[in-house]
Structure 1
Amino acid sequence: MSEKTVKKKDEVVIETTHPNLEIFKIDPWVKPYAEDLALRMRRYEGVRKSLLGEKGTFKEFANGHHHFGIHPFGDGWIYREWAPEAYGLYLMGDFNNWNRVSHPLTKNADGTWEIYIPGHDALTHESRVKVRVVGRNGDRDRIPLYIRKVVQDPQTHDFSGQIWSPEEVFHWTDGDFKIEQSEPPLIYEAHIGMAQEKEAVGTYKEFEEFMLPRIKAQGYNTVQLMAVMEHPYYASFGYHVSNFFAPSSWFGTPEDLKSLINKAHSMGISVLMDLVHSHTIKNFAEGINEFDGTSHQFFHHGARGYHSAWDSKLFNYGKHEVIHFLLSSIKYWLEEYHFDGFRFDGVTSMLYHDHGLGTAFDDYAKYFSLNTDIDAVTYLQFANELIKALRPDALSIAEDMSGMPGMCLPIEAGGIGFDFRLAMGVPDFWVNTLKKKDDDWSVGQLWYELTTSRPGEKRIAYVESHDQALVGDKTLIFRMADKDMYWHMNKKSPSLVIERAVALHKMIRLITISLGSEGYLNFMGNEFGHPEWIDFPREGNNWSFKHCRRLWSLADNPFLRYEDLKHFDVAMIHLMHDNALMGGGVPQPLWIDQMRKLVAYKKKDYIFIFNFHPTDPQVDFELPVNDTGGYRVIMDTDEPRFGGNGLISHEVIYEVKTLPGMKQQTGFQIYVPNRTAMVLKKVTLKD
């Protein structure tokens, strides 16, 4: 009944017979599931040993992209492919006039195939290639699994692989860039194609030139890029990935993406990638499905290998070759493109056989049951170990709504190894709250939802997800303002509906970012209340781009309220960052009042006060702070620069004294208008 942890450079080795792991001290609720945790760690150690041997590392293991695929080799080119149950493979392309039989690959004993093509000029930069695969599912033309660029024929719309080997190698200038671990991630989530105002697909270069300065000016220190991995259907939002080593050709060239990341680093901005290893497109022509002719090459066989809600294929994480393929993808994006980490999409779907659909995770027993896919748990541990071995400063974020215990604890502590978990319950809470009448809002529930997390877990808080901006759903402000947004967002156009929406938009963001989360995320445009939903070009809208863009001109228009919301977001982000107010655990609650809809709390030398009441201001509100000195308002949601009425003074010093109505308490009296929030900072009183 012992545990021994040995740390070596670039690796984690756990020797365990029955773990007495740190997770039990951090989260005592997992103690009844000690055997399940022991199984987790035994599986981790056992599979790790079978993959790496006694002394290997994942850094050495995850090199599929260096071995497989098409590479210059000697005086020619080598092409290797893993297709264990295929009957025959034939390389074809521009180089052989698409001859389907002239270049057969030879099968090796381990199920890999290869061909050597002599001559440096046999394959040329930007020439197109495919591989003809003959298997039990027929004779199909496929895109090589490790291809690094994909192109679509403008006439036939057919996708092909493309040799990408430019003469001039991209010159990186970001060698000194590292993520500062003490800096909380303030994440600007963005979609390259939508991040412009023209009715077309935006490019990597346009994002670099226009969006990066905007993101920097707004105070965000991290950009999270969606839809980077190649996907044939633009309207999939990038989540139906087809090629795991090719950046999306929708937005430009690989060099364009490298330039974007290099520029971001020069501006002090980290770049995360939205990594989709939870599923993949089921297509044959563009994707990896049944590449060798079988359904089980990468995926579970039968119903287990298909996600009915997503109409996509599901990986078999228990298969060593699949682990190798996916881990090599992670290493490739870190090495080749200098990404600073990943937001892992669909982690909940990976962790549970039912994908978490319809499951209420209200009992720890639901995390340690036959419904849990332990192979997926092990894969995620491997992924996080690899990331830290390659880039100790890199970030990994789990998109998990289940709250799996140990998600953000180190592997050697019994965890899965992520740095952060997206607080997915927070957007759901706000949606459900806005469905209620204002008088029925529960500030107690608000406090609970925004402060509760697993022990030892760091959270990325966010108000609304990108999914809420899609057609069929509603952004937060559109839920509140509805059709009035089209008529009354002019600053001189009175509307009680808009006044409420704008006021709550600011309050909701401020309380979400400040109630203890260690990071914050915003989807582009939501910060200024973008009025248009996202409707990707499709047959149903006549392939229009009208609603698949961001109207930045609205945010920059001095006559519209969108500008007020933009200014507020900038001030809020800078307030939280410049004063180191992110994280720090649950703030000290000072006042939570359901009847008056008041919430007040203290973080360091700062006090946050919120009055969510729809009609009642609080005059001479007595706030006990049990402190000395005085406080002064440094920011509030009612400031004129944010479209407010300027009812709150920033000049008054609120001296802490014995409160008239609470003789045993010290604090101060303050005017708190309804539907406003304010931040006060402690000041030194003059004699």
Structure 2
Amino acid sequence: MAKKTKQVEDNAFSLLTDFDIYLFKSGKHYKLYEKLGAHVVSNGDTEGTYFAVWAPNARAVSVIGYFNNWKDGVHKLNPRWDQSGIWECFFPDVKHGEAYKYAILSITGDYLEKADPFAAYAETPPRTASIVWEPKYEWQDSAWLEERKQLAGKPKPYSVYEVHYGSWRRKAEENDRSLTYPEMAEELVAYVKDMGFTHVEFLPIMEHPFYGSWGYQLTGYFAPTSRYGSPEDFMYMVDCFHRAGIGVILDWVPSHFPGDAHGLYKFDGTFLFEHEDPRKGFHPDWKSYIFNYGRNEVRSFLISNALFWLERYHIDGIRVDAVASMLYLDYSRKDGEWIPNQYGGNENLEAISFLKEMNEVVYKNFPDAITIAEESTSWTGVSRPTYVGGLGFGQKWMMGWMHDTLHYFQTDPIHRKYHHNEITFSIIYAFTENFMLPLSHDEVVHGKGSLLGKMPGDEWKKFANLRLLYSYMYTHPGTKLLFMGGEFGQSSEWNHEKSLDWHLLEYDVHKGAQNILRDLNMLYKREPALYQHAFDNKGFRWIDYGDRDNSVIAYQRLSDHKEDVLVIVCNFTPEVRYHYRIGVPYRGQWKEIFNSDAKQYHGSDVINSGLLTTSPVKYHSQDYSISLTLPPLAISILKLDKELNEFELRDIGT
């Protein structure tokens, strides 16, 4: 039941208690969305809407909307007596579904019209008003949430399909419109399920005024964009993913926000959410504004927002955008354009403290969720616990692997022997963090071309290289992320203004790329050796990394069960290599369980059929070896045949 406050006005009504205010001002109110914003409530026998907004430097605040013809001063908010800076009031004539804004008179006399920072819903852009909304939805994903809880902390495959909502698929016959949330619940869920991905990750789905920002310039942190439906529609889509056994990750942007007039920028006429000094408060890359992480009320806002999506929308994790830009005070700045910290360094101590606290709070409240950092520098311990000095993220994007790997694959195979270290170097640091291997949207925009377009050679070589890239990615330690379109070899650079080129699947080469991605996902989930020790060196062992002249590498992936060992051999040239000998750990019969050159992938079908019998010839520091044929620009994955080698498994104590 709501509690009355010590306001001067008669019949004052508030959802805020003194303890709420204490937590808010100390930066420890992690469910602020339950108190601030617009809430449809009952005040005694009267139903209406309670509004509360933080605007400490305003001279006056009122709510405007169609219910008062957008006239300032009719529905006035009252300043709280406790110097919290919060204005509030209950209005019985404002109902669910009403559009509204806050009309703010600043201390300088400026008149501002602002959207609600805590709005649960917003008008569809280019309209900018908030909407009074109390989402009501009956979730049916209890089985998913229970399984998520049971699997928390246990090794599991993470294969993420990254999606820009508005351009995944469009209705060409209906004015090229994007799919609604219910339509995506049918089409995207079925597609991700069929392709075998474990998770889908959406570029920011929160409300944003400029579609061309891909969602990274937010104005409505607590509202799924209304472009595609209501909050309940979005809940339904998440629910459908969960019932299909697919997790949902959202991109989250606590690093910066745009300067739109209705947004957070100079919210009450002063620099409230952002730093006043542009050397700390303005982002030169994105022409946007940086949160003041040292202000307690801002920390409450942001951490509450992270928890909001996990609690109210059952999201399984958040991928935090542009972490590097938060960590460094001199990020993308020249000398004289930044302010050192109190110790004279370039570390943003306030942002570091905020990220640590955010991760601690998320994992305390949702230990079965995941936080992922897009962090592109060599910052130590991004995905290590805060109690050992880390930032506390669950995983970190492996940007070094992505850069080196793509550079290597863009090199003509005839020259790859001179770049051999680019394909082997990642293992040196692969276990210093909980790494996710990203082939993300950032690699297929701004003139970079598509992944397929980066591959050298004629059409056959391009697709063979692409299949090799994906197979190498799925057998490399770490979790996986692939941006939409890559799975079928999108040939043109991604364009957010149009649908993916689904018509390409009419061609066998593109269908083959899609087939191999589907099979790689299935193989990844089926073989514990590929995910059980994704983040530590127990799961990886080199066989040979030194054959640079042939551009061949061979390695093992291991699980806790020795018989599940996989032997992977990669041939990064278009030359078929016959009678190629590699050392293997156990004697017996080895079977090729995957070959990226197979016919069903539109390869040349140079495969190792039948069983490969070991020889007692020692090779690559192994007691046994086998001779096989290496397919061109391809990977071969071998596994010990259990049925034919029971005696051998007994010998090694499994």
What is the CA-CA distance between 1:609 and the residue it aligns to?
0.5
> Which residue of structure 2 aligns with residue 491 of structure 1?
none
5+ residue gaps, structure 2, are 1-20, 336-340, 559-564, 648-654
Q: Which whole-Å CA distance do the structure 2 matches of 1:663 and 1:513 have between them?
A: 25
> Which residue of structure 1 aligns with residue 139 of structure 2?
172
Aligned pairs (5 A) from 1:69-468: 69-73=37-41, 74=43, 75=46, 76-108=48-80, 109-119=82-92, 122-135=93-106, 136=108, 138-152=110-124, 157-165=126-134, 169-178=136-145, 179=148, 180-181=151-152, 182-198=155-171, 199-285=176-262, 287-355=263-331, 370-441=345-416, 442-449=419-426, 452-453=429-430, 455=432, 457-462=433-438, 464-468=439-443
Q: 2:515 aligns with which of 563, 567, 570?
A: 567
Q: Which whole-Å CA distance do the structure 1 matches of 2:469 and 2:619 have between them?
A: 30
What is the CA-CA distance between 1:139 and the residue it aligns to?
0.8
Which amino acid is the alignment partner of residue 274 of structure 2?
A: F
Q: 1:192, 1:251 within 8 Å by CA — same for their partners in 2? A: no
Deviations, residues 251-275 of structure 1 (Å, cap 9, x unaligned)? 2110110001111111111111111
5+ residue gaps, structure 1, are 1-49, 360-365, 482-495, 537-544
Deviations, residues 477-531 of structure 1 (Å, cap 9, x unaligned)? 11226xxxxxxxxxxxxxx6111111110111111221211x1111111111112
Other structure's SS at 2:129 match: strand
Q: 2:161, 2:484 within 8 Å by CA — same for their partners in 1? A: yes
Q: Which whole-Å CA distance do the structure 2 matches of 1:118 and 1:476 have between them?
A: 55
What is the CA-CA distance between 1:460 and the residue it aligns to?
0.7
Q: Which whole-Å CA distance do the structure 1 matches of 2:128 and 2:57 have between them?
A: 24
Aligned pairs (5 A) from 1:640-679: 640-651=599-610, 653-659=611-617, 665-679=623-637
Aligned pairs (5 A) from 1:626-637: 626-637=585-596
Q: 1:634, 1:680 within 8 Å by CA — same for their partners in 2? A: yes
Deviations, residues 627-681 of structure 1 (Å, cap 9, x unaligned)? 2222111110111000012121332x21121339899952011111331211011
Deviations, residues 200-227 of structure 1 (Å, cap 9, x unaligned)? 2232122111011110111111111112
Other structure's SS at 1:577 match: helix
- Distance verdict in 2 for CA 1:177–1:321, change over 3 Å: same
Deviations, residues 554-599 of structure 1 (Å, cap 9, x unaligned)? 33x2x43110000000111111111121252342111121001001
Which amino acid is the alignment partner of residue 582 of structure 1?
A: Y
Q: Which whole-Å CA distance do the structure 2 matches of 1:679 and 1:224 have between them?
A: 29
Q: 1:227, 1:248 within 8 Å by CA — same for their partners in 2? A: no
Q: Which whole-Å CA distance do the structure 2 matches of 1:663 and 1:510 have between them?
A: 25
Deviations, residues 460-490 of structure 1 (Å, cap 9, x unaligned)? 112x220222242212211226xxxxxxxxx
Q: Which whole-Å CA distance do the structure 1 matches of 2:296 and 2:621 have between them?
A: 69
Which amino acid is the alignment partner of residue 126 of structure 1?
A: G
> Which residue of structure 1 aligns with residue 472 of structure 2?
511
Pairwise CA RMSD of aligned residues?
2.5
Question: TM-score by structure 1 length?
Answer: 0.81
Q: Which whole-Å CA distance do the structure 2 matches of 1:672 and 1:358 have between them?
A: 50
> Which residue of structure 2 aligns with residue 488 of structure 1?
none
Q: 2:531 aligns with which of 559, 582, 590?
A: 582
Q: 2:264, 2:273 within 8 Å by CA — same for their partners in 1? A: no
What is the CA-CA distance between 1:431 and the residue it aligns to?
3.3
Deviations, residues 338-385 of structure 1 (Å, cap 9, x unaligned)? 1111001111111111226799xxxxxx9x971111111111111111
Residue identity over aligned pairs, in percent, reads: 25
Q: Which whole-Å CA distance do the structure 2 matches of 1:270 and 1:416 have between them?
A: 24
- Distance verdict in 2 for CA 1:623–1:336, change over 3 Å: same
Q: Which whole-Å CA distance do the structure 2 matches of 1:204 and 1:551 have between them?
A: 21
Q: Which whole-Å CA distance do the structure 1 matches of 2:264 and 2:488 have between them?
A: 40
Q: Which whole-Å CA distance do the structure 1 matches of 2:309 and 2:215 have between them?
A: 16
Question: TM-score by structure 2 length?
Answer: 0.85
Q: Which whole-Å CA distance do the structure 1 matches of 2:472 and 2:206 have between them?
A: 34
- Distance verdict in 2 for CA 1:429–1:103, change over 3 Å: same
> Which residue of structure 1 aligns with residue 501 of structure 2?
551
What is the CA-CA distance between 1:126 and the residue it aligns to?
2.0
Q: How many residues align?
A: 588
What is the CA-CA distance between 1:246 and the residue it aligns to?
1.1
